[in-house]
Amino acid sequence: MMNVNAEKCIGCGLCVKDCFARDIELVEGKAKIKNIACFKCGHCIAVCPKEAVSTDEYNMEEVKNYNKEEFTIEPETLMNFIKFRRTVRQFKDKAVEEDKLSKIIEAGRFTQTGSNTQGVSYIVVREKIQELKELTLESLKNVGEAMLSNLTPETMVYKRYAEMWVAMYKEFKDNPNGKEKLFFNAPAVIVVVADSPVNGALASSNMELMTNALGLGTFFSGFFVRASQANRKIVDFLEVPEGKQIVTCMVIGYPDIKYSRTVPRKEANILWK
């Protein structure tokens, strides 16, 4: 429930004005939250100049007052940070600290979600990464063999992937601890699952930025997501909550490569109207 401390409230009306759900009204010069249409977005907490609004559903100790020094990023610095981002597939043989993985997840947890559902969950795989790897590679092999046995002009474009998946599984079975092309021997994987693909993808994007800020590297494994769609064993192994789906798989570790510059991209395709 959202609460208003009447002693602190000065009746400025800022919370009323900023409430998208129209769930707040002024009664005798004080804000009153009806808690009927409210979906706990927290705008009233953030906008109140007197810290009069709180909730008993979340941890209010997480709330931080704004100050320019800690909250501002220069636009050009942010743009350069984004431009310098690289997909990393070369990792050091070094474990990633739990507190860093937790910070990455925090970046996802504080990402916006539709209707403030906050329906994004995170599955961290470290100790059982070999088991997950084998399940995934076996699934990809099965998908690849099925493709190769029924190639058509339309599916011919996927032939090289099918052949790759079959070869990857054989290489893994021949040498389970050798170099592999699924997780590239990274020490940790975070699987992002959500009730909405959009919510999961938005969280993953912010998580990637935090990964880079922590001096780590990551790539999103599309191969893993494809394998999970074709193998219920992977979903069960990860204990994906009912009603949620695997959206992304972030493979994370310390980069064993150093980049010196950004790279070019296509011009933006923009329609101004």
Tell me the HSE value of 57 on the side-chain side, using a 13 A CA sphere: 11
Structure confidence by residue, pLDDT tens digits, 83-97: 999 999 999 999 999
pLDDT for the residue 217: 98
* Nearest residue to 120 via CA among 247, 229, 252, 15: 247
What pLDDT shows up at residue 155?
83
**pLDDT computed for residue 154 by the predictor:** 84
Per-residue confidence (pLDDT) for residue 165, from 0 to 100? 97
| pLDDT at residue 248, rounded to an integer | 98
Q: Which residues of the chain have pLDDT under 50?
A: none
Domains of the chain from N-terminus onward: 2-62 (3.30.70.20), 81-273 (3.40.109.10)
- For 99, list phi and psi in degrees, rounded to 5: -65, -30
Rounded to a whole number of angstroms, the distance between the first and last alpha carbons of the chain is: 43
**Helix residue ranges, H only, the chain:** 14-18, 43-47, 68-71, 75-84, 98-109, 129-148, 159-174, 197-213, 222-229, 232-238
Q: Per residue in 103-149, pLDDT tens?
A: 999 999 999 999 999 999 999 999 999 999 999 999 999 999 999 99
**pLDDT at site 230:** 86
